[in-house]
Amino acid sequence: MKYKSLTHTLSLSLSLSLSLTLTLSLLLSSCGKKEEPVEKTGTLKPDSSVSKTLVLENPNHSFTLSYKLEKGKNYKYRLTTQQNESVQLQTNDTTVQNNIIQQIIYSISFSVDRIDKNNAAELTCNFTSVKLDADANGKKFKYESGQTKNNEELKSYSQYESITNNPFGIRISKSGDIIEVFRFEQIINKFISINGLQDSINSKQKENLRLSLTEATIKPLLSQIFRKFPEKQVAKDSSWSIPQEAIPLASLVIKSTSIFKITSLEKFNSDTVAVIQGDMKTEVTGNQGATDRGIQYYFDKPRVSGSGKIYFNLSDGRVQSSKSSTSMINSFSAQANSPQGLVKETQRKSSDNTIIVEAL
């Protein structure tokens, strides 16, 4: 029985560990690999080196990284998340390897409804399409909004299905802070309907569902498009940092800080863009050893890194493009006595995540 308890507990820990991957990437993604200069085609593509922006001859002047959203104007973005995970689970005499590759492409449109007296913008946000491609140990998974019709598949992808072509409201401050997500009731209702929960969900569960979708899904995604910037004036070589919310990982806690620096001002077509380099500093605290129900655990301190680049269009007053990446390697072991003797299990997981934002 202790062997079963060990396996079950380790499986739960594995699921929790896997769920951290995109969370880290979204919360810490001031960051990504260093990229070549951007393509000069009307949409910046940070992973392109075909054409290049031009560095301004005189970049030494101050400015504010403020959003200049105009009432009645429409904006479109493509947001791509790429996830690559490898998990190895080893017992006394067995090794299991799991590999997951996933890409999700969101097409998102925004229309500006009003600008208030504090220059905060009220927008209607619409995820016009979502496309997912994944490979889990050679098994393919595909979802595309408007194309996937099978009811069971729709349940599996109900999170994406419920937000697609189901507009809701957001309020954005001049400095890019997402103040509020509202008019979200229709998305919750669609999610409940797809999963057949109309007669079994109470008001508290419904509110928890709303918080989960808005705080854990919608806001982290939109914060890649609406970055929070300092309200003060900045210039080339200005830097600032943003502490991120601590992330628990079993008995450990990952604390991180995103650090930004304006490295240059460049010309993109007739616009001026500020190039912002992002890096990440992390600290891991907590107990590496723990015992639960006779099972002894040891957690290695996870190795987390990230960096990235943001191109903010000063002329348009919005993010033109960005590419950010994070990686994490973590492992832990567990052991317990069983009728067959000492049982040992070890898990090692590595994950790489990239988020690309492109103004269309």
Instruction: Encode pLDDT of 244-292 as tens digits.
Output: 889 888 889 999 999 999 999 999 888 999 999 999 999 999 999 988 8
Radius of gyration, CA atoms only, the chain: 23
Q: Domain range for residue 293?
A: 1-66+229-346
Inside any domain, residue 303: yes
User: Which DSSP string corresponds to 281-307?
Assistant: EEEEEE-SEEEETTEEEEEPPPEEEEE
Q: 192 and 45, same structural domain?
A: no
Tell me which long-range contacts 85-89 makes (C-beta under 8 A, separation of at least 24): 85/18, 85/21, 85/349, 85/350, 85/351, 85/352, 86/349, 86/350, 86/351, 87/14, 87/17, 87/18, 87/347, 87/348, 87/349, 88/346, 88/347, 88/348, 88/349, 89/10, 89/14, 89/345, 89/346, 89/347
Instruction: Give how many domains the chain has, as a whole number.
Output: 2
Question: Looking at the DSSP assignment, which residues form a beta bridge with residue 129?
Answer: 107
Identify whether 359 is part of a domain: no
Based on the domain organization, do 78 and 23 belong to the same domain?
A: no
> In terms of domains, do 53 and 93 share one?
no
> Is 355 inside a domain boundary?
no
Of 204, 228, 252, the residue that ends a domain is 228
Of the three residues 175, 198, 228, the one that is the final residue of a domain is 228
In a domain, 351, yes or no: no
Please say if the pLDDT value at position 202 is more than 50: yes
Judge if 20 and 44 occupy the same domain. yes
Residues 237 and 215: beta-carbon distance below 8 Å: no
Q: What is the pLDDT of residues 103-138, one digit of tens each?
A: 999 999 999 999 998 899 999 999 999 999 999 999
Distance CA 308, CA 289 (A): 34
Phi, psi values for residue 140, rounded to 5°? -90, 140
Interatomic CA distance for residues 238 and 217, integer angstroms:
31
Angstrom distance (rounded) from CA 64 to CA 325: 26
Residues 262 and 182 in one domain: no
Structure tokens at 345: 């299990």
Tell me the average pLDDT across 317-325.
95
The answer to whether residues 80 and 202 belong to one domain is yes
Residues 6+ apart with CB under 8 A from 332: 13, 250, 297, 298, 299, 300, 346, 347
- 308: its two tokens: 């990235």
- What number of other Cβ atoms are within 10 A of residue 37's Cβ? 20
Same domain, 58 and 74: no
Are residues 91 and 146 located together in one domain of the fold? yes
Residues 223 and 258 in one domain: no
Output the pTM of the full model. 0.85
213 within some domain: yes
> Tokens standing for 318?
């919005």
Q: Which of 186, 207, 228 is where one domain is finished?
A: 228
Do 9 and 86 have their domain in common? no
Please check whether residue 360 lies inside any domain of the structure. no
pLDDT of 52: 57
Structure tokens at 235: 């210039």
